[in-house]
């Protein structure tokens, strides 16, 4: 299957993922998570979608027609939705696996992704003060400890350091590509190094509706 990985930008279709959502009602429940420090807001929301009462399982059970299956795009959709409702500028980054950080060539799709035609992963991008911060909400445990090694993370900024290297952020991913066409290293504690490249950037615009 030939996939077009030409970079593109488009709106994130939250209504397709959460057709039962009432934005204003949910925003009122989320307002308690907002902090004067936007990095702290990100941490508060991340903690909520992973293990709070408004977690991803609850979000999909209540507002989606899709079952929550612990997938990266579901965590990213939840985090992006919540942050957007709190007024942050947020993007969903759709990525495909490439051979290395200098390549645009997709690796052969694993058996479970044969129908899709490539190995997918996604990130959330948050714009804070004209700086872009990348985050993979799938890669945290319930104690908000990153499941990625320090090599995956950018130099420290924000409020949480990496437990294995205090010079690295414990939250944000390092961008190895350009500002527009992000490339990142997924290096967890199970697999070898895997590189992913963004080919679609989708902006959350739900906050404009309320």
Asked whether the predicted pLDDT for residue 96 surpasses 70, the reply is: yes
DSSP secondary structure string, 29-83?
Answer: HHGGG--SSHHHHHHHHHHHHHHSTT-HHHHHHHH-SSPP---HHHHHHHHHHHH
**114 - beta bridge partners?**
none
Strands 183-186 and 194-203 turn out to be antiparallel
> How far separated are the first and last CA of the chain, in Å rounded?
41
CA 81 to chain CA centroid, Å, is: 11
pLDDT score at 3: 84
3 compared with 163, residue with greater pLDDT: 163
Task: Render pLDDT for 44-68 as a digit per residue (tens, 0 to 9).
Answer: 999 999 999 999 999 999 999 999 9
Asked whether the predicted pLDDT for residue 207 surpasses 80, the reply is: no
């Amino acid at each position: 299957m030939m996939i077009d990985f030409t970079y593109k930008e488009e709106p994130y279709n939250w209504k397709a993922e959460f057709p039962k959502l009432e934005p204003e009602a949910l925003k009122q429940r989320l307002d308690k998570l907002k902090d004067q420090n936007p990095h702290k807001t990100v941490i508060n929301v991340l903690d909520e979608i992973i293990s709070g009462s408004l977690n991803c399982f609850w979000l999909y059970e209540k507002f989606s027609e899709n079952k929550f299956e612990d997938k990266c795009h579901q965590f990213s959709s939840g985090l992006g939705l919540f942050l957007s409702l709190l007024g942050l500028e947020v993007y969903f980054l759709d990525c495909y696996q490439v051979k290395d950080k200098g390549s645009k060539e997709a690796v052969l799709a694993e058996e479970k992704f044969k129908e899709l035609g490539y190995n997918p992963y996604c990130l959330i991008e948050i714009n804070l003060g004209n700086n872009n911060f990348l985050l993979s909400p799938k890669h945290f445990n319930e104690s908000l400890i990153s499941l990625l090694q320090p090599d995956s993370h950018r130099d420290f900024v924000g409020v949480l350091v990496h437990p294995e290297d205090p010079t690295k952020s414990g939250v944000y991913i390092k961008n190895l590509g350009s500002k527009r066409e992000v490339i990142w290293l997924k290096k967890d504690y199970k697999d070898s190094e895997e590189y992913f490249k963004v080919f679609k950037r989708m902006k959350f615009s739900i906050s404009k509706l309320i």
